[in-house]
A and B are shown apart, each in its own frame.
Chain A
């Protein structure tokens, strides 16, 4: 099924290229208020909620209408009809910010929007062929993995020549962000911290209790364990609970991902050595801003692919940084 949709998408893209439809960038008249539709990954995912806060603020600042759309599940099957519906309601001189849940499956809709004169941006993930996309903005998950390695190294007082046992809590083999973060972590270990030895990995299967069980097991299996990298929000919550229930807070370096407010509080209590935070709000703001500038003035961004760095929040981070990166719900 996946292959067939990909073939379809490629065919559609080729057809569009042949007819020579260009991305519309005609300046709009002031009379009509610009509409920007934001089709995101999953309603009520904290990451996308934080993104929404940024999008809403920027739309207000720019004086445009924002349509926030998405399904409860992160799935191409449910996202496709939403995108099609949105494209039907938009017209020339409007904008679409798309978070493609599947790069191949969403390609055709992405290009169809552009063909209609809608300015399209991709955020977080991207369609396979970016030729019809004005700008693609993503958080850098590899960089986040590398920052996690650095944070663990710092916490354990890394010295070249010594070995430090580290474990990594993953969600599943197929979670793409997991894979990117893991690769970034391993690359940093190979190049800078060869003494960090990844002794084990395990899956939480998206269940925070399972994440806690995995860490519980490691705590007994590796009496010399120095560090834990909990690669996403679920693993972070589970690992934090395991350390708290075993009374090992502060004795083992725990680096988590995703700046849930409750987990940010746990930095202060010393449960998390560091939390790697993305800045979804900044991604959204930049997407809205770039689209509006293009519609109003025809300007194109200097770079088509923009990466917004992840940041490591620690107990020594400034209050302003902590406030900026903590996922907001309102």
Chain B
């Protein structure tokens, strides 16, 4: 039995049909087609304003505030876990950073532009540390107290929200900010729908994605979600890896907190409200399986984009005005449909 003989047994279909069917079973291709369809539809539905730089910039802005959460969530979901604490980590980290700069260093929103940059970097650092600590706490609850991830991260979600409200007294802490970081890039007089903040989010996503697909860290993440027993049997410390994955998710949520700070010019206890659900939805739409072992970074980047193209597109519609209530229903249906499609794909794809 040689390699080629054995492999040929898997190619029973005609090459063209096989190619098409394998393309359609690729989540990223499906999502790209979806994006083109949605873009065309909303372009028509908005009387031709949807695909202009300003609105694309807004879509990418929102994409940026969710993508880091979605990427962190992807790692957790691949291991077969779930992290409900990411939204409240956004709130908590931005509030702690705002509290430190505004109330301890006594630097307020009057500091803007380049003068504010060092503070923004400090804020990003604080946010990252807060996020890592929340992740560490999640890992502790899961590894040491043997609490299932859903409950463990639900507990830290509640605690983080509570602490964020206590520190902020429920009000945004406005501090120094360089609004230019969120402004669209202007290259040679042409405005691009991308800002420094969005670029940073893309950059981090790319780097983390490379680690997921090319490195040992990513391999262990998949193997853990695929077969924890075999992973342990291969001599890998499952607990250590769980800790790393939840700290990654927390750290990225912290950075998303810094992103929210720059967007709002304030640390706000409502900046992460409900974001965990969109992050989980984005991961599912992007093709990850909540059962673990499956999911790709490109899929998640596109899935997040689809989610917010729909939201933004519905808000932009002029042909029919979509009421905010209907908008929520449509988004809910979209998420349910994505999960259903995925379940069907899995049924057909395996066995």
Contact = CB atoms under 8 A, between A and B. Distances in A.
A and B touch in their complex, CB below 8 angstroms: yes
Interface of A: 43-46, 49, 72, 170, 173, 200-203, 205-209, 212-214, 216-221, 233-234, 237-238, 240-241, 244-247, 260-263, 265-266, 327, 329
A243 B266 CA distance: 14
A241 B265 contact: yes
A188 to B, nearest CB: 21
Interface of B: 46, 49, 52, 54-55, 57-58, 61-62, 65, 109, 162, 165-166, 169-174, 179, 182-183, 260, 263-266, 268, 270-275, 312, 315-316, 318, 321, 323-325, 327-328
A265 B174 contact: yes
A202 B55 CA distance: 16
B264 A217 contact: no
Contact of B270 (A170, A173, A208, A216): A208
B232 to A, nearest CB: 40
B43 to A, nearest CB: 13
A212 B170 contact: no
29 contacts: A46-B171, A49-B169, A49-B170, A170-B324, A202-B315, A202-B324, A205-B273, A206-B273, A207-B271, A207-B272, A207-B275, A209-B65, A209-B271, A209-B275, A217-B315, A218-B315, A221-B46, A221-B49, A233-B171, A234-B270, A237-B264, A237-B266, A244-B265, A245-B179, A245-B182, A247-B183, A260-B171, A262-B172, A262-B174
Given A209-B272, A213-B312, A237-B268, 5 more contacts: A201-B323, A208-B268, A218-B315, A220-B54, A245-B263
A294 B325 CA distance: 46
A216 B165 CA distance: 26
Contacts of B65: 209
Nearest to A201: B324
Q: Is the interface of A mostly helix, strand, loop or mixed?
A: helix
B130 to A, nearest CB: 17
B174 A245 contact: no
Nearest to A199: B321
A247 to B, nearest CB: 8
B21 to A, nearest CB: 38
Nearest to A205: B274
Contacts of B162: 72
A327 B46 contact: no
B58 A262 contact: no
B97 to A, nearest CB: 15
Contacts of B171: 46, 233, 260-262, 327, 329
A208 B264 contact: yes
Contacts of B270: 206-208, 234, 237
Contacts of A207: 270-275
A212 B62 CA distance: 9
B316 A217 contact: yes
Contacts of A213: 58, 61-62, 312
A45 B324 contact: no
Contacts of B55: 217, 220-221
A219 B57 CA distance: 12
B243 to A, nearest CB: 29
B13 to A, nearest CB: 45
A45 B170 contact: yes
Contact of A44 (B166, B183, B321): B166
A170 B328 CA distance: 13
B229 to A, nearest CB: 40
Contacts of B169: 44, 46, 49, 329
A46 B170 contact: yes
Nearest to B165: A44
Given A206-B270, A208-B270, A238 B173 contact: no
A266 B61 CA distance: 24
A247 B179 CA distance: 9
Contacts of B58: 213, 216-217, 220
Contacts of A238: 264
Contacts of B275: 207, 209
A44 B173 CA distance: 14
A327 B174 CA distance: 15
A241 B264 contact: yes
B263 A212 contact: yes
A200 B324 CA distance: 9
A241 B328 CA distance: 24
Nearest to B112: A244
Contacts of B166: 44
A72 B172 contact: no
A209 B173 CA distance: 14
CB-CB nearest 5 A-B residue pairs: A220-B54, A207-B273, A262-B174, A241-B264, A216-B58
B347 to A, nearest CB: 33
A43 B318 CA distance: 41
Nearest to B55: A220
Contact of B179 (A217, A244, A261): A244
Contacts of A173: 324-325
B109 A209 contact: no
Contacts of A200: 315, 321
A80 B55 CA distance: 46
Nearest to B54: A220
Given A220-B52, A221-B46, A221-B315, A212 B264 contact: yes
A261 to B, nearest CB: 7
A209 B54 contact: no
B273 A260 contact: no
